[in-house]
Amino acid sequence: MTGINGITLKGMEALPVEVEVEIRGGLFAISIVGMADVAVKESRERVRAALGSLGFNLKGRISVNLAPADIPKEGALLDLPIALGMMKAMGFLNNCPKALYMGELALDGRLRRVRGAVPAAFLARKMNLPLFVPSENAAEVALVKGVNAYCADNLSELVMMLTGEEEPRPLPPAYVPELPADYEPDFADIKGQAQARRAAEIAAAGHHNLLLVGSPGSGKTLIAKAIAGILPPLTDDELVETLLVRSTLGMETKTGRERPFRIVHFTASTVSVCGGGANLKPGEVSLAHRGVLFLDEYTEFKRDLTESLRAPIEDGEIVVSRATGTVKYPARVLLVLAANPCACGYAGDPVIPCKCSSVDIDRYRRKLSGPIMDRIDLQISVPRLTPEELLSINEKGKKPEPSSLIRERVIKARKIQIERWSKYGLTCNAEIPEKLVQKCLLLDDDTRSYLAIMAGKFNLSGRGLTRVMKVSRTIADLDGSENIQRKHIAEAMTYRQIYGRG
């Protein structure tokens, strides 16, 4: 009996699996035990055909044990270690080095891409073992620093590496450059809406949540999508965090440092957004980690979905519990919401009259629940411009500021925040915990008294007051000011008063 090391996934964590193979006489049969799912059990035919392409004909009763037996094994990640285990049991790989092996086998012996290569790289680094992966997974594994990894195109090539007939191909450390991206839409395409443009800049600079409320055609969706073009590039640590989520789902590796931008339709299920399911996979809120999660037509979303976003918005992570286990996913997102002011969409519109009664409007606006609104730092009304206003803007001949210039200010402000908060393990103002708000965001007596008056006037909650201070700090960073001033507090307060809520 012999053992080869493979991996399985539990959420975003890679767990080691020892593949034990025993071959006895008798009629040919392959049995796999150890809480293997359907995909693992189907590997019997893939492994048999792949070994047959190398000239290895399996005989006798073959037992494959996946240890530890009490951990569920899923997916095709174990094809390669099962095949190597069988070869070793047959006496062809007696000197197989101790390492982690992962890969799906084609019937002709080719190694196919598998999901979970980045979690496997972290596990290999932790266990101080080499990692062998398919060539299609090489790009993402190479981004993990400190891992000793090798790749192969097919089973034959890998066997020659293990037997010394061919030199192994180590993966050199990779670097993802900041590539110039042509984002659409550009803020230069957005007419008017000065306050909404300013709020979008503040949201991108400090990673603050944003709500846009306005009539159909006012430009809410256009502004939300344009935010992607002004976000700062991912840092090295943030890049690995986003890569970990994408690798867990088997998604392709990105070639640049652009931040994720995920748009969710209101018909989406809670599981698809928050994560879970039979295999405890991450959802949209985790795919948007370190980027933007955009929920258009927010008031049309199901109540249970919107309320399930409370904890991720506040904590930056989401815990998914199912009968098969509990996993934790990252969810540090810039949440952007867009909504109509009423059911017909035209409350307060300068052109089209609203058809809703006051009771209908109040009932509709209650869909924006207080606890969620309390977690939205910037709440903006986006009025629809009249045709005359649009034409007058065009006649002035002054083109709106493009995304490239706004992005320069955002990057400069974000660098200030990283220098300030890096010693605490933080990257932006929105992440500041309560104890640091009280300790580090110091105000002079005049500014403090002004904030106290405004907080009482608009009935701000404790969370609302903290968020006003965080937004004020971001405005000060954009302004190049070392201290939070009264004007920064005043501007931050204007972004908290939509529908009269604090």
Q: What is the pLDDT of residues 379-389, one digit of tens each?
A: 999 988 766 66
Alpha carbons 82 and 95: distance in angstroms, whole number: 16
CB contact set of 267 (below 8 Å; sequence gap of 6+): none
Bridge partners (DSSP) listed for residue 476? none
Task: Give the mean model confidence (pLDDT) for residues 171-198.
Answer: 83
pTM recorded for the entire structure: 0.89
Strand pairing report for 13-24 and 61-67? antiparallel
Task: Name the residue with tokens 């008031």.
Answer: 299
Encoded tokens for 24? 């006895």
Question: Terminus-to-terminus CA distance in the chain, angstroms?
Answer: 68
Burial classification of residue 482, based on how many CB atoms lie within 10 Å of its CB (0-12 exposed, 13-18 middle, 19 or more buried): exposed
Task: Give the mean model confidence (pLDDT) for residues 464-478.
Answer: 93
Quote the crossing angle between the two packed helices 462-479 and 486-494, to the nearest 10°: 120
pLDDT of 502 strictly over 50: no
Q: What is the pLDDT of residues 331-354, one digit of tens each?
A: 999 999 999 999 998 888 878 889
Task: Name the residue with tokens 């450390």.
Answer: 173
105: helix, coil or strand?
A: strand
In the prediction, which pLDDT does 500 show? 42
Task: Give the mean model confidence (pLDDT) for residues 296-315.
Answer: 90
Torsion (CA) 118, 120, 124, 130 in degrees, nearest 10: -90
Q: What is the pLDDT of residues 248-277, one digit of tens each?
A: 998 888 778 899 999 999 999 999 999 887
